[in-house]
Amino acid sequence: MKILITGGAGFLGQQLVRALLQEGSIKLTDGSGRAEDHEISRIVCFDVIEGQITDPRVVNRSGDIGDASTVAGLIDRETGVVVHLAAVVSGTAEADFDLGMRVNLDGTRNLLDSCRTQGHRPRLLFSSSIAVFGGDLPAIVTDATTPTPQGSYGTQKLIGELLVQDFTRKGFIDGRSVRVPTATVRPGSPNGAASGFASGIIREPLSGVQALLPVPEETAMWVASPRAIVRMFLHALMLSPKDWGWHRSINLPGFVVTMTQAIATLREIGGDAAVALVKRQPDPQVQKLVSTWAARFDTAKAKAMGFKADSDFGQIVRAYVEDNRGAVRLPVNL
């Protein structure tokens, strides 16, 4: 089977590619409930830059997902699975409206149209976001809560969900959308996500570098580790259309962590030296956007479908240390 991953050079994309290569096959359950292993013959890894994974089964391609002709060349009738991760993240989409619309909205439409043109109904997973929820929300968000995004990124993701839903209804794809918690701890350099501080206040201090905390310490966020998110991506692909039913969007499990709790975990693992590198520097723009996001979810439906989250924030930080030993400069207590 041929698999296309957009945003494949990003940190989640690269982790997903590695997980698929390690498995060597992908198990998909059809509408009748029959599960079948499909050997992975090719993974097309597409992004604005080329991915770094070298393997005979991986084709690294770069280009503009906002260009319809480029996207049309990524999919053929051998493409059985599409994972759509490509996106301009929240802070960047808010700062550059045109770029967010081109990548997050036009890019998604281009990809869906390419699937429709081929006419073979590939299975498509769309990485949405909990940023589709915002504003005046209930204390706990459920799958029945109406999405009311308060930022361009969340709006663009919600439109993408609706397109996936409609293209599935029309029989063009077998689509499913997952609303991903804030991924932390994110490895590598900071990106334009407004939520980037949630990773930065762990990642940078453990590397011996100062980190800025732009929001109050009582700020709460719904989070999941990259490991758990990739595991849930694979599970979402495996499930049958009947498991999803008519509604193809779901809130993925995670858990609530406040910045106070995150700093306490940093102290537990990296000691006082790590915590001393966290500098409180309020940023009104970041605070304004983050304050509209939901932080507490009831994900009973996802859990009943077999999705599993991390157990606690300490597990997340320890997993980051284990996966990124070369980036950790301070002594750690695991």
Confirm if 307 and 299 have CB atoms less than 8 A apart.
yes
Pairwise CA distance, residues 191 & 37, whole Å: 36
Q: Does residue 153 carry a catalytic annotation?
A: yes
- Tell me the CA distances in angstroms from 320 to 6, 210, 267, one per residue in order: 24, 18, 15
Question: Angle formed by the axes of helices 107-118 and 152-169, to 10°?
Answer: 10
Selected catalytic residue, list 46, 133, 153, 233: 153
Pairwise CA distance, residues 141 & 30, whole Å: 30
In degrees, rounded to 5, the angle at the alpha carbon of residue 50 between the alpha carbons of residues 47 and 54 is 125
- Supply the residues annotated as catalytic: 153
